[in-house]
Amino acid sequence: MKLGERLTLDGTLTEENMAFLKQLGVNNLMAGVGAAAGQPEKLSIVSKLRQGGYWEVADLVELKKLVESRGFGLFGMSHTPFSRWDKVIRGLPGRDAQIENWCTSLRNMGKAGIPMLQYNWVIDAAAWLANWRTTDKTVGRGGAKYVSFDYEVAKKVPITKEFGVITEDEMWANLTYFLKAVIPVAEEAGVKMVVHPADPQVPSIAGVARIIRSPEAYDRMFGIAPSEYNGMVFCLGCFSQMMDANSVYKNIRHFAAGKKIGYVHFRTVSGTREKFDEVYPDEGKLDMLRCIQTLKEVGYKDIIIPDHTPHGAGDTEYGHRGRAYAIGYMKGLMQAANALD
């Protein structure tokens, strides 16, 4: 397995952070692109990658050269700006043009040699914190700040005027339409598309259904467009929210057998999908060493990256201290399991 990290082009992809990650032994990066325009931009390439309806080959090549010049491999892109697929997920007029642009991005990623695209099939309607959390002020071990979710709080959020009610059937119909159009192009381009679970994995928030919330949902999705290029992010944190620990280990085996795992998110929680805290990796419900061992046993040799981390004393907005802890923990477990490539 290989250590990786995701840095966002509008904020965290900086010289300092890249040097920090190299010092920790990280050699693989994913570039997150989809933050809202108007935020402070640290690199000129950001505005280029947000212009128009798709990614140009020249801009992707420029980004790849930048990352490689700092000693990293660019293993993927994530979070295509929502304005490029908002009509697709909602089934609105204009979705065919957005799908064609998506396919152009896939083809251009293939030409640039960037092999993976992560996306989410969810609308975080009315969210006031990232990933639809209800507080980032839970006090944890030693006074660390944990991010938490409570479905009883989220249930009280009203339906928004912007999105209204979107049902499960509508979400599945729109996903089916999308996958049947784009997965053949992903195959031709050699770009694996991987979807992250809805997070949290509750049925709906603010009237908008959240359908990718179980192993069965993933199996249904993979059945719509059978292909090795129709894949998933195996988010250990999300799976630990969905189910008990033993079921997580079983699902690692299940999805690895089908070659569905594009890359892995390293995280765990205490609690359930309805109410949980994002905790340090040594205090959650998963045995993280067993997760690494299971991944090794099934022959997984690809990238694993830290996900959300607690915010410790004196930490930065990026979370240098929390991420250093997580990456060091990951590296130690991978060495213990003899799984670090």
Return the HEC string of the chain: CEEEEEEECCCCCCHHHHHHHHHHCCCEEEEECCCCCCCCCCCHHHHHHHCCCCCCHHHHHHHHHHHHHCCCEEEEEECCCHHHCHHHHHCCCCHHHHHHHHHHHHHHHHHHCCCEEEEECCCCCCCCCCCCCCEEEEECHHHCEEEEEEHHHHCCCCCCCCCCCECHHHHHHHHHHHHHHHHHHHHHHCCEEEEECCCCCCCEECCEECCCCCHHHHHHHHHHCCCCCEEEEEEHHHHHHHCCHHHHHHHHHHHHHCCCEEEEEECCEEEECCEEEECCCCCCCCCHHHHHHHHHHCCCCCEEEECCCCECCCCCCCCHHHHHHHHHHHHHHHHHCCCCC
Give the whole-number percent of the chain exceeding pLDDT 70: 96
How do residues 25-35 score in pLDDT, each as one tens digit? 999 999 998 65
Under CATH, to which class is 2-336 assigned? Answer: alpha beta
Of 289, 280, 332, which Cα lies nearest the Cα of 307? 280
How do residues 102-114 score in pLDDT, each as one tens digit? 999 999 999 999 9
Q: Given pLDDT bands bounded at 50, 70 and 90, which one contains residue 239?
A: very high
Say yes or no to pLDDT of 227 above 90.
Answer: yes
Q: Which residues contact 219 (CB under 8 A, 6 or more apart)?
A: none
**Region 80-101 average pLDDT:** 96
Q: Given pLDDT bands bounded at 50, 70 and 90, which one contains residue 38?
A: very low
| Encoded tokens for 76 | 């993927």
Residue 49: its pLDDT value, please?
A: 85
Residues in the chain: 341
Q: Given pLDDT bands bounded at 50, 70 and 90, which one contains residue 96?
A: very high
Q: Where are the domains of the chain?
A: 2-336
Q: Given pLDDT bands bounded at 50, 70 and 90, which one contains residue 48?
A: confident
Which pTM does this prediction carry? 0.96
Average pLDDT, whole number, for the chain? 94
Residue 40: its pLDDT value, please?
A: 46
Residue 341: its pLDDT value, please?
A: 86
Strands 73-78 and 269-272 turn out to be: unpaired
Strands 208-209 and 204-205 turn out to be: antiparallel
Residue 318: its pLDDT value, please?
A: 92
Residue 105: its pLDDT value, please?
A: 97
Say yes or no to pLDDT of 42 above 60.
Answer: no
Residue 51: its pLDDT value, please?
A: 80
Residue 9: its pLDDT value, please?
A: 84
How do residues 116-158 score in pLDDT, each as one tens digit? 999 999 999 999 998 999 999 999 999 999 999 999 999 999 9
Cα 194 versus chain centre, distance: 8
How do residues 276-309 score in pLDDT, each as one tens digit? 999 999 999 999 999 999 999 999 999 999 999 9
Residue 46: its pLDDT value, please?
A: 67
Round to whole Å and give the CA distance between 155 and 161: 17
Round to whole Å and give the CA distance between 76 and 239: 22
Residue 127: its pLDDT value, please?
A: 95
